Structure 1
């Protein structure tokens, strides 16, 4: 009798162990599935804003779209407005990332700039661009200065057609304007003209206005406007890498202190091979790693 009871109890124990074991395997499978699913969809969550440079905007927008596709619970809002706007907003805590064509020290007070961390994500080249019908292909730096300061008012003065020069400028908050003023115009102040805070609008106006001239980042050169050589040097990536073409700037993404959470994840993605080796050149930007020269906040250029 006792042996029968023992066998029954043993059988019950074996059956209960099998049920628990199956349940444990099921839990492990479910847990493993959730982990795999999280790896596939991405684990970054939350919402951030990146505001500022319109020259950098196309790259940040496309990178944000790719990042959000991999991380469905992440929301990245990208806005333009100019480098000055981006820097002031990130310094005030109104945005998570401030996109800028210039060093923070060039736009902010030393106290404001002190708390910001610089993330140099690439290099942008800029060119003077004109209406497609302008027959001038090359200008000297002095001619360019004379055009933008209002001394040259008709294209015939430098061998072009008898058409009035129409200046299309960016606002003073623009990092593109600051870069162009510093390295194309040697710091000369631009004369008044049509002013637009969007590079896309600048391109459209120049394309539609006979005699128009302005300046754009390489990423906006789509054939609808003509880029001018400067002192015989083509505005091209290889000439920026060597320092032969002077109108370029680092593209900065500033954070207030060291980035954390989604901001850090996105900035890490900006420096990934997927962005640096593929997206950066595809959109007309230059990987900083290819530069043979470097430039400091004072504008001094030296060999790497």
Structure 2
């Protein structure tokens, strides 16, 4: 009898393990990769989702918009986070991806707090990043060499900045960083430094510049008075299903859009009074 009991116990354990394996195979874990500008939002919502849905896991990683788009296109991940429309990225077939716009992000020039200026014209901002202006005294600031810090190639933040500030030209060669947080820290610690980052990464460690006397605020983004902004996209390969669909629905729910999106420095899409297509043209 004891031997039979052991066999039954082992058989029961095997059924339990098999059941667990089937539970795992149902896709209760997904991965979202890409934009570092969008990463804080996705991480925060993922934590909130997991708290309310025990046993379901959302793995969130950075790597830049280019990585997010290429990884979701290849099927390596379920969600590709991007500051760019898929149509803007070389090597990406946008027809195979489904776009889920989850927020809008403003992008602002950030500078070391001791450069001595608060406003810059769009023309001069362009000249700074093209290497045509090299000292802050040329702009009425301190006699300090301008130190440019760029995001790495493939960054959606960089592409957006170059599109709207440099008219599509490439910034002068300079130090590059993958992480928005690291960009902010280097600018804060480096005399004469300038870079750019999403509103959600701006802290009092750095100063922002107004451009043509327009301040980088959410309100100015919603009206397009501040033009350096981008949609935040979460792309899927085809229509999402199962946990991927559930999570995206959660991100886009009124509760999350109102409770988390705005609090983290992003702008809910519903707040926008204008709409742009992938080419940057306003849609009436």
TM-score by length of 1: 0.83
1:45·1:73 contact (CA, 8 Å) conserved in 2?
A: no
SS of residue in 2 equivalent to 1:87: helix
1:98·1:254 contact (CA, 8 Å) conserved in 2?
A: yes
Which of these residues, 46, 50, 59, is aligned with residue 68 of structure 1?
50
Which of these residues, 246, 249, 258, is aligned with residue 268 of structure 1?
249
Give the Cα–Cα distance (whole angstroms) in 2 for the partners of residues 265 and 108 of structure 1: 30
2:263 aligned partner = 282
Which of these residues, 206, 216, 227, is aligned with residue 225 of structure 1?
206
SS of residue in 1 equivalent to 2:43: helix
| Number of matched pairs | 259
SS of residue in 2 equivalent to 1:80: strand
2:131 aligned partner = 150
2:16 aligned partner = none
Q: Does 1:201 align with 2:173?
A: no
1:89 aligned partner = 71
Question: 1:302 deviation in Å?
Answer: 3.8
State the superposition RMSD in angstroms: 1.2
TM-score by length of 2: 0.89
Give the Cα–Cα distance (whole angstroms) in 1 for the partners of residues 182 and 263 of structure 2: 22
Matches within 5 A, 1:22-61: 46-61=28-43
Question: 1:198 deviation in Å?
Answer: 0.5
Give the Cα–Cα distance (whole angstroms) in 2 for the partners of residues 113 and 186 of structure 1: 23
Matches within 5 A, 1:120-269: 120-269=101-250
Give the Cα–Cα distance (whole angstroms) in 1 for the partners of residues 189 and 56 of structure 2: 39
Question: 1:120 deviation in Å?
Answer: 0.2
Structure of higher CA gyration radius? 1
Q: Does 1:117 align with 2:98?
A: yes
Q: Deviations over 1:159-213 (max 9, x none)?
A: 0101111111011100000000011222121001110000000001000000000
1:45·1:71 contact (CA, 8 Å) conserved in 2?
A: no
